[in-house]
Amino acid sequence: MNRATQGFKRPAVRLACSYLFDWILCIVLIALFLMLDNLTPFKRQFSVEDSSLMYPYKEKEIIPTWALIVIAVVFPAVVMAVVSLFIRRSSYDFHNGFLGLLLSVSLTIVVTQVVKVTVGKHRPDFIDRCKPMLNGVAITRDEPLKLWSVDVCTTADHSVFKDGMRSFPSGHASTSFAGLMYLSLWLAGKMHVFDRKGYSLKSVILMVPILTAMLVTISRIEDYRHSAADVGWGTIIGVFFAFFAYHQYYPAITRSHSHIPYPPRDFGYLVKDNDGKVHETGRLEAMTGIHPNKESVDETQQQPEQLADLEGQQN
């Protein structure tokens, strides 16, 4: 056995390698988001008589982007660090918690940005950003049976103009719920909120992150950056990925062991095949959970795993 093989056999090295793909995935998603952010959105035609686009452009936002990062990422990470490292004293818990947070936010911002760029929906303050003019005269009326293209826009600030075509869905809404809903789920698991002991303080604590995300979302309507539909769909996207990411690393919050992250993954753990025989997984199966069969199998009949689950439910 060479030195490289011996090094891989060390628990710390195997643990790091087992989560390496997750970290790389999050980094790739963030890089992809930055690339998408430089793309010009779909240039949708518009009406200068559309009252939903006539709101004034506000240069100062209530929650700027840097504040959103602090609220949706830094704040949850700090809370998890305090609980995991100083109360539970588990660095593995913090690792899984922060990795799940990063996965939730990175998936959310990529999906949100893809939809923003492809839909190209105008913000409520688009006309003020666009400053439509024709032959040096401001356009205040539509021509019969005709919409205007963005070619009539005369704004000098291209970045402000381009951002005016990214209304749907709301990135602030999706990102804030991706981070803060994840934090609520994480705290719910730690506090065993469904243990039927009825401590109302738990509900109050869980509502703080959710209420914060709601206030961030409402601020986007107050800034005339989004409509109610924009923030509504942004909220749905953020909540969906928060639930998805949380359950990649932690059991359901209704479980008695919800405060404990899933056991460390390994490239060489034992599973049962379709015949109920124990075997060691390959690297692809360990990473994806997809079991490869050497030949065609008949899965029309109940499998050993399904029978075991049924017996467990009956007991």
Residues catalogued as catalytic? 172, 226
Return the structure tokens found at 144: 């019969």
β-strand partners of 153: 132
Where does residue 153 rank: exposed (0-12), middle (13-18), buried (19+ CB within 10 A)? buried
Write the CB contacts of 101 (distance below 8 Å, at least 6 apart in sequence): 73, 76, 77, 80, 179, 182, 183, 186, 245
User: By the 8 A CB rule, do 177 and 243 touch?
Assistant: no
Where does residue 156 rank: exposed (0-12), middle (13-18), buried (19+ CB within 10 A)? exposed
280/282 Cα distance (integer angstroms): 7
Q: What is the DSSP letter of 164?
A: T
Please provide residue 15's backbone torsions phi and psi, each rounded to the nearest 5 degrees.
-65, -45
β-strand partners of 272: 278
E strands in 130-259: 133-134, 137-138
**Rounded to the nearest 10 degrees, what angle do helices 171-191 and 228-249 cross at?**
40
80/290 Cα distance (integer angstroms): 31
DSSP-based three-state secondary structure for 272: strand
User: By the 8 A CB rule, do 139 and 132 touch?
Assistant: yes
Short-list 93, 100, 115, 16, CA closest to 261: 93
